[in-house]
Chain A
């Protein structure tokens, strides 16, 4: 799809609060810092922002940030959309800019989670108490069951899972805002505590904290503000259709099991007029190593079953053919739900501008891709171009 430049939306500034765990700072304070950094990066003030959207899962109402940033009367939309929160804030702002609401907008996401696995309630998912009482209501089981079946169907070894995590920690070690910054060997990852085989402790991300923000501009305004604006070529959000294999499912249809990731990825590439093969830097949802393996193929970045060869050849490293999660992803950054999607945008934008905070993809990459996936079966993908 081709649009006139005046209808295109660009990222002109981005900011991020380091991910990890820091008891001295609140979710709101992290969000404020990310916003101020994004505004400074764009060279604009909060009073210039004509439309804003913010998202947080557990750390407060995002629109109350106006009390910290300035009571300018700006329209501020709150989003709570699970792992797709960040992408949904970008979508809300981009649509508002194209609809003529404003020429400059801001998207922010933040969260600060408790230690350990997310708490779940059977009733909240429409399930009987028996499901949790009998020990089947754990997200870690879901990821393990999905991963084991996938490895079996596509002839992939468990070592591939360790390769994913090792690359994540290698990239995280180079990234100043990542949480886990110590490289680990494949063997150390395989030998870490058993959680739900084939997945071990270091193959899972942890709920953490963090914030990220973007300043978006419409058309020529972007080029007035920014030397290298990054174009939001397309963004698509999809919910699940019948037959997708989702968390907390007491039953599944016999198959085939088609994920909303497939739908979202197909939609963004079609709308951007680009192919997965054009992507030179990708951010994929890596709640666990198995998820990233599956998402590599579901988004079309490789064929089903090709992942192990790709990983072994270093093709997904920052210096490879399809660099993946160059900032260490969720595995090295943790997963503050509201911030995670915007962290992906932050990384891809900085990569396409040639100023990655960590491992820079060489050769001036022109096309970037982001992907999130989560409960209860939603996915959002975006294509960005330099």
Chain B
């Protein structure tokens, strides 16, 4: 089965992919995804910046009902899923959380992963980014 990443501009590398944002040379603000101008200051220039892979759950919720299109459900149909912000230190990133309900909490150590989002019409599996519990951090 062939796979592809959901949107090329969000990632750097493939094995494993890392998230790439941008960092301002003036005020050091980190944004995700990349953008060409700084939302905070006028003088900085933005350059590509690979984000840390480890972070802590900053907030979370459950998507309990199927979203309307343009949401694309997985091939097996909609299943409720967790969403949250992950604190990566220099920036908080919103992401799907592949963490079961019994484990999920603010402050939980997580690390970057990919997960199947949906399938293209030709059967290609489309991957999006997510965070899962960090086994190295978990005691």
**Assembly CA distance A148 to B96 (angstroms):** 16
- Specify which chain A residues have a CB less than 8 angstroms from the CB of B31 in the assembled complex: 251
Which B residues between 58 and 83 are near A, CB-CB below 8 angstroms? 58-65, 67-68, 70-72, 81, 83
Task: Flag the segment in A50-58, A139-147, A156-164, A337-345 that touches B.
Answer: A139-147
Select from chain B the residue with minimum beta-carbon distance to A144.
B61
- Specify which chain B residues have a CB less than 8 angstroms from the CB of A48 in the assembled complex: none
- Specify which chain A residues have a CB less than 8 angstroms from the CB of B40 in the assembled complex: 242, 253
- Specify which chain B residues have a CB less than 8 angstroms from the CB of A132 in the assembled complex: 67, 70-71
Q: List 13 A-B contacts (CB under 8 A).
A: A130-B10, A132-B67, A132-B71, A133-B70, A134-B6, A134-B71, A135-B63, A135-B81, A145-B60, A148-B61, A149-B85, A195-B64, A196-B64
Name the one of B6, B61, B128 contacting A196, with C-beta atoms under 8 angstroms: B61
Q: Is the C-beta of A25 less than 8 angstroms from some C-beta in chain B?
A: no
Q: Is the C-beta of A119 less than 8 angstroms from some C-beta in chain B?
A: yes
Name the one of B65, B81, B92, B106 contacting A251, with C-beta atoms under 8 angstroms: B92
- Specify which chain B residues have a CB less than 8 angstroms from the CB of A256 in the assembled complex: none
- Specify which chain B residues have a CB less than 8 angstroms from the CB of A119 in the assembled complex: 68
Which A residues between 208 and 264 are near B, CB-CB below 8 angstroms? 242, 249-254
Count of chain B residues with Cβ under 8 Å from any Cβ of A? 42
- Specify which chain B residues have a CB less than 8 angstroms from the CB of A199 in the assembled complex: 61
CB distance from B77 to the nearest CB of A (A): 13
**Assembly CA distance A132 to B68 (angstroms):** 9
Name the one of A116, A146, A193, A251 contacting B59, with C-beta atoms under 8 angstroms: A146
Name the one of B87, B89, B93, B106 contacting A250, with C-beta atoms under 8 angstroms: B93
A254 near B61 (CB under 8 angstroms)? no
A253 near B92 (CB under 8 angstroms)? yes
A141 touching B70 in the complex, CB below 8 Å, given contacts A251-B93, A253-B29: no
**Assembly CA distance A116 to B67 (angstroms):** 11
A128 touching B7 in the complex, CB below 8 Å, given contacts A135-B71, A250-B94: yes
A152 near B68 (CB under 8 angstroms)? no
Name the one of A141, A146, A194 contacting B83, with C-beta atoms under 8 angstroms: A141
Name the one of A137, A149, A242 contacting B39, with C-beta atoms under 8 angstroms: A242
A194 near B33 (CB under 8 angstroms)? no
**Assembly CA distance A196 to B7 (angstroms):** 26
- Specify which chain B residues have a CB less than 8 angstroms from the CB of A133 in the assembled complex: 6, 70-72, 117-118
Q: Could you list 15 further interchain pairs (A-B, Cβ under 8 angstroms) beyond the known A194-B62, A196-B62, A252-B92?
A: A119-B68, A128-B9, A132-B70, A134-B117, A141-B83, A145-B83, A193-B64, A194-B64, A197-B61, A199-B61, A242-B39, A251-B21, A251-B30, A252-B91, A254-B91
Q: Is the C-beta of B84 less than 8 angstroms from some C-beta in chain A?
A: yes
Q: Is the C-beta of B90 less than 8 angstroms from some C-beta in chain A?
A: yes
Which A residues between 53 and 76 are near B, CB-CB below 8 angstroms? none
